[in-house]
């Protein structure tokens, strides 16, 4: 009987030990399941992060908003499709070359004075023919000094003492005139040559020494004259049917400021501000007064100006779509790219705006492609593939919400497909920063924006910049110069 009791107690003890062991194993399994789930989530997050970083390294100026200067040595495929044209000048292209002029400035006669055969004098023998060759070259350049003398006279009848007037630009006892000043401004602000190198060029060209400080002072001295031209530029911008707007950063005294541009195919206005947002565009003062069609990217500041209508830049859209196609393998983005380019071709073929029936067709295509994009992104999420999905969803939402702005170019002839005009106008600002690094003073950066506005406007009208600056500094108005033959 004692053995039975002992065996029973031993069995109970063994059973309890097994139950405890099973409970411990169950807890361990539960813990491992939680850790496995956590590791699975972390693994998914790391995969998404790796995909994001890999996509970031593959971004360049063709599939993102990065500037071309950031491309470095990474090979990239061009965004333009190859044409069937041969390299070089096309058939019918009028090239430029040196041609002889009927009235040269100088004539040099090379005479035949003696016969090389018998030694007879040919001094008075008439030539059988005269061969002509012309050499184009610069005259000797030198600094000229003009002395302005003002008479002071007293009236013998009323004894009033009066004096003649100097030209408005003659303000000091010794100073530089409009010709050399306009040349320095042209080198420094049009060709973006740094001040020190400008002084070297003046020394080499005319043998006259000036300092870098003199170059800066020339800019400051003539700034009021050029600021008067800005009023004429602003008037032209406010009366234009379309206005291209954009902004970019500029280093001033080792800090980032912003250059805002408002431009058309004929005029340009740059404005410097410490802010990128609405405070800057309000202070510059053009956008609050504009009532035409404003062409821009999707930056949230511009739609705040409700007096104007708005059109979105499809060059930005095409770069984003290319990123979704190349980096993440989305198919909807490729179809949307093809559709936008087909719309552009249709508008160009029609010579401007499309008929309303054709516009409605393209609007239906646009809506369907965005719906297809949403479906594709949802399917990717169900399959656990989240690469590029969130950004793509936001992009589709933006195109849906701002459909009228995106497709306005179909209805209005004056509305372009992209905002490349503003981007081209801002390019020289970045070139200036690349050359000079930074402006030391804010006043100098503002002066650069003012002078560059005038220079860009002159260039768009095909006017010679150096000559036109000289005329401005001599008292002519910008409109007179722009409309002169």
Contacts of 43 (CB under 8 A, 6+ apart): none
200-241: per-residue pLDDT in tens? 999 999 889 999 999 999 988 888 888 889 999 999 999 999
pLDDT at position 30, please?
Answer: 87
pLDDT at position 37, please?
Answer: 86
CA 387 to chain centre: 31
How many beta carbons lie within 10 A of that of residue 51, not counting itself? 16
In the numeric block, which tokens belong to residue 440? 């030391």
pLDDT at position 317, please?
Answer: 95
Q: Are 482 and 457 in contact (CB under 8 A)?
A: yes
Backbone phi, psi, residue 40, to 5°:
-65, -40
Go through the chain and tell me how many residues it has.
Answer: 485
In the numeric block, which tokens belong to residue 6? 């002992």
Q: Are 304 and 278 in contact (CB under 8 A)?
A: yes
pLDDT at position 27, please?
Answer: 87
Q: Are 242 and 292 in contact (CB under 8 A)?
A: yes
Element (H, E) at 182: helix 178-185
pLDDT at position 66, please?
Answer: 62
In order of start, what are the domains of the chain with their CATH numbers?
217-311+420-482 (3.30.420), 314-411 (no CATH)
pLDDT at position 298, please?
Answer: 86
What 3-state DSSP class applies to 66? coil
In the numeric block, which tokens belong to residue 212? 């870098």
Element (H, E) at 257: strand 255-263
What is the C-alpha to C-alpha distance for residues 257 and 262, in angstroms, rounded to an integer?
17
Q: Which of the 8 DSSP states describes residue 302?
A: G
What 3-state DSSP class applies to 309? strand
Task: Give the chain's mean pLDDT.
Answer: 88
pLDDT at position 63, please?
Answer: 61
Residue 250: name the closest of 433, 442, 447 by CA. Answer: 433
Residue 50: name the closest of 295, 326, 327 by CA. Answer: 327
Q: Are 308 and 290 in contact (CB under 8 A)?
A: yes
Contacts of 260 (CB under 8 A, 6+ apart): 245, 246, 247, 270, 271, 272, 273, 280, 281, 284
136-165: per-residue pLDDT in tens? 998 888 899 999 999 999 999 999 999 999
pLDDT at position 5, please?
Answer: 57
In the numeric block, which tokens belong to residue 469? 């600056």
pLDDT at position 60, please?
Answer: 65
281-328: per-residue pLDDT in tens? 999 999 999 999 999 998 999 999 999 999 999 999 999 999 899 888
* pTM over 0.75, yes/no: yes
pLDDT at position 397, please?
Answer: 95
State the DSSP string of 287-350. GGG--SEEEE-S-TTGGG-TTSEEEE-HHHHHHHHHHHHHHH--SHHHHHHHHHHHHHHHHHHH
Q: Are 310 and 293 in contact (CB under 8 A)?
A: yes
pLDDT at position 64, please?
Answer: 61
What sign has the CA pseudo-torsion 391, 394, 400, 402?
negative
Collect the ranges in the chain with pLDDT lower than 50: none
């Amino acid at each position: 009987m004692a053995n039975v009791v002992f065996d029973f107690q031993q069995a109970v003890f063994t059973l309890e030990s097994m139950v405890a062991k099973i409970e411990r194993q169950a807890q361990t399994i539960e813990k491992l399941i939680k850790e496995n789930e956590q590791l699975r989530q972390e693994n998914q997050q790391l995969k998404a992060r790796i995909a994001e970083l890999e996509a970031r390294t593959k971004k360049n100026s063709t599939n993102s908003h990065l500037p071309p200067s950031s491309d470095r040595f990474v090979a990239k495929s061009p965004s333009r499709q190859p044409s069937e044209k041969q390299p070089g000048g096309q058939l019918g292209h009028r090239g430029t070359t040196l041609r002889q002029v009927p009235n040269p400035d100088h004539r040099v006669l090379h005479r035949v004075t003696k016969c090389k055969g018998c030694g007879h004098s040919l001094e008075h023998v008439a030539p059988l023919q005269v061969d002509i060759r012309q050499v184009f070259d610069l005259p000797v350049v030198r600094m000229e000094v003009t002395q302005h003398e003002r008479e002071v006279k007293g009236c013998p009848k009323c004894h009033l003492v009066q004096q003649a007037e100097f030209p408005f630009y003659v303000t000091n006892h010794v100073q530089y005139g409009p010709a050399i000043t306009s040349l320095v401004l042209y080198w420094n602000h049009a060709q973006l040559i740094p001040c020190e190198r400008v002084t070297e060029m003046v020394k080499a060209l005319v043998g006259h020494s000036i300092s870098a400080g003199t170059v800066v002072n020339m800019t400051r001295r003539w700034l009021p004259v050029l600021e008067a031209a800005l009023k004429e530029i602003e008037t032209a911008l406010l009366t234009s049917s379309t206005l291209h707007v954009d902004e970019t950063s500029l280093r001033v005294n080792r800090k980032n400021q912003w250059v805002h541009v408002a431009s058309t195919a004929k005029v340009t206005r740059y404005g410097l501000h410490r802010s990128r947002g609405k405070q800057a565009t309000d202070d510059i003062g053009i956008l609050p007064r504009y009532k035409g069609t404003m062409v821009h990217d999707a930056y949230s500041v511009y739609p705040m100006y409700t007096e104007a209508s708005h059109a979105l830049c499809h060059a930005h859209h095409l770069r984003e779509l290319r990123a979704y196609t190349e980096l993440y393998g989305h198919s909807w983005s490729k179809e949307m790219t093809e559709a936008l380019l087909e719309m552009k071709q249709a508008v160009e073929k029609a010579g401007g705006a499309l008929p309303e029936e054709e516009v409605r067709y393209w609007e239906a295509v646009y809506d369907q492609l965005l719906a297809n994009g949403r479906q594709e992104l949802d399917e990717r999420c169900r399959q656990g593939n989240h690469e590029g999905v969130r950004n793509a969803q936001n992009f589709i939402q933006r195109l849906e919400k701002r459909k009228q702005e995106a497709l306005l170019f179909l209805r209005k002839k004056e509305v372009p497909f992209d905002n490349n005009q503003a981007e081209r106008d801002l390019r020289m600002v970045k070139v200036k920063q690349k050359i000079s690094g930074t402006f030391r003073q804010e006043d100098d950066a503002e002066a650069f924006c003012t002078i560059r506005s005038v220079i860009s406007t002159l260039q768009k009208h095909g006017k010679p910049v150096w000559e036109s600056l000289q005329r401005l500094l001599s008292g002519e108005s910008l409109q007179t110069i722009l409309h002169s033959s």
